[in-house]
Amino acid sequence: MIADETEDAFAFGRFELRPTERVLLADGAPQDLGARAFDLLSALLRAKGELVTKDALMREVWAGIVVEENNLHAQIGAIRRVLGAERGAIITVAGRGYRFGLPISGKARVARGGTAKAQARLSLAVLPFRATPGDEDADSMAEGVTENLTTDLSRALGGGAVASRAGAQAYRGRAVSGRQIGRDLGVRYVLEGSLAANAHRVRVNVQLIDAAADMHVWADRFDQDRGSDGLMVQDIIVGRLARQVVLRMVLAEARRAGAAGAPDAVGLALQGHGTAIMSRMSPEGVPVAREMFRRALALDPDNIEAAAGLGALEAYALVNGYTPAAERAVRLAEADILSRRVLASEPEHLGALRARAVVLRAQGWFHDAMMTAKAILALCPRDPPACREVGLNYLYLGDPVEALHWFGEAEASGPSDPARWSWMQGLGRALLHLRRDAEAVAALRVVVESNADWSFGHGLLAAALALNGQWDGAEARFAEFVRRVPDAQARMPVRLIAVDPSRVAAAYFQHDARIGDAFADLEGRYFMP
């Protein structure tokens, strides 16, 4: 039953709902929430964590009007989109209704007056990057990096996850601890950085801080050629940082959820993502992550992070060759359904868009897959996995030159990324198609060194070494490939194409024939009596 009492305001995380004014604020800024969604959120907050049945919600919000239950689902989805990282606050009680799952302060003014705000699990403040004193160009670049990074991380983490730029700007030049910033802005993480430049290079230092512990979670330093295009330099820096910050926050929250014991649906979804990242989608990691996502969905069937995560996991497992042939159709269909379901309620969900792009590639719809990947790049420019997807689709369309460009874009933004091997293998294949064998050897060595569990990396490196005339190294690497893949049919180069070969361009097979010839020569040498 929905409680009758009213409150002046409800505060949770970085949000404040004011029933009298009919406004929802995030960091003091009004949010765009429709009337029905506002009434639903108000009802759930008044219930103070108790279950509110679907019938009770529909009677209150659509009083006197007969509507379908999917209207309720649509409005719950609208609330979750606005809450961003706090979307897990709305907990689905399967078959019954919903409840609010975060701590609520009845008087929001008290929270603003000094009591620490509740912190969303993936919440962040991006502090203004410091620049070399006296260098106006570097100062302008630092401003641009801060602004664009705030925007891209807001999209990647959800609208309510990143503190407003105005809120973070208040700490410019102030010696304030991460703990204090976390309390003030209601965030778990703080990102700070500096940018130094000379005529030729830009050096970036960055630290991700756990606000509660006031300790570093991750730090990095890297140099970037300055060049003449300042905006291009900003884009490369932001692309590299945005991806890494999200990965490091997810991994930190996955560890936190695991240490807490008996995690909820949100915690299980985070653990699933963390396992997938750390295992590099290995044959051993995939089933562990799959189980975590499925447990999360069992607890909360509407958890979109678990749905998007499971969809992406099944799609990647299939194209990486980890899905048994008998299960491919079922797994691909599930990934298709899950990615569509998430995008129906949240059209710009990056995880679901990534899953969708891989599903379309696996189905052989290469142009559609590229359009989906480019939709990700419109939201997060230079996103390495999206660049990789564009490159792989060009490769299958028989255009290794264009593919090479996109793999290079992925590498520019992701040289320390756990998924680096996935675009470097594409880069190596494109180079082999272009008969640039020595460069292909260098690229494919990176694949084997960064992800030895991907068996075909050993085979591709063996082929590249053979085509480059390095037969001793080729035979030793091919022996490792045979050890990992003893079935001769499974070692055929066509197995690299995790799609219906009939959809792949004839030009691809023409370019790829020399790799097949190298495999055949190596098979003959290895099994020669």
Residues 369-402: pLDDT tens digits? 999 999 999 988 889 999 999 999 999 999 999 9
- Dump pLDDT digits (tens) for 463-497: 999 999 999 999 999 999 999 999 888 888 877 77
**Domains, the chain, ordered by start:** 10-112 (1.10.10.10), 124-242 (3.40.50.10610), 263-363 (1.25.40.10), 381-529 (1.25.40.10)
List own/partner pairs for 334-338 with CB under 8 A and 24 or more apart. 334/310, 335/310, 335/311, 335/359, 336/311, 336/363, 337/311, 338/307, 338/308, 338/310, 338/311, 338/314
Q: If pLDDT is split at 50, 70 and 90, which confidence band does 190 have?
A: very high
Structure tokens at 2: 């929905």
- Dump pLDDT digits (tens) for 340-363: 999 988 888 999 999 999 999 999
| DSSP string for 418-457 | TTHHHHHHHHHHHHHHTT-HHHHHHHHHHHHHH-TT-HHH
> Which residues touch 526 (CB under 8 Å, ≥6 apart)?
475, 478, 479, 482
Phi-psi region of 216 (alpha: psi -120 to 50; beta: other; left: phi over 0): beta
- Dump pLDDT digits (tens) for 233-248: 888 899 899 999 999 9
Highest mean pLDDT among 82-96, 141-155, 222-236: 141-155
| pLDDT score of 121 more than 70 | yes
Nearest CA to 454 among 316, 251, 289?
Answer: 316
Residue 173 CB coordination number (10 Å): 7
- Dump pLDDT digits (tens) for 431-464: 999 999 999 999 999 999 999 989 999 999 999 9
**Dist CA 324 CA 328 (whole Å):** 6
Mean pLDDT computed over every residue of the chain: 87
**Dist CA 310 CA 153 (whole Å):** 22
| DSSP string for 189-253 | EEEEEEEEE-SSEEEEEEEEEETTTTEEEEEEEEEEE--S-HHHHHHHHHHHHHHHHHHHHHHHH
| pLDDT score of 117 more than 60 | no
| pLDDT score of 329 more than 50 | yes
- As a whole number of Å, the CA-based R_g of the chain is 25
Q: What is the pLDDT of residue 528?
A: 67
**Dist CA 87 CA 322 (whole Å):** 32
- Dump pLDDT digits (tens) for 402-424: 999 999 999 988 888 999 999 99
Q: What is the pLDDT of residue 420?
A: 95
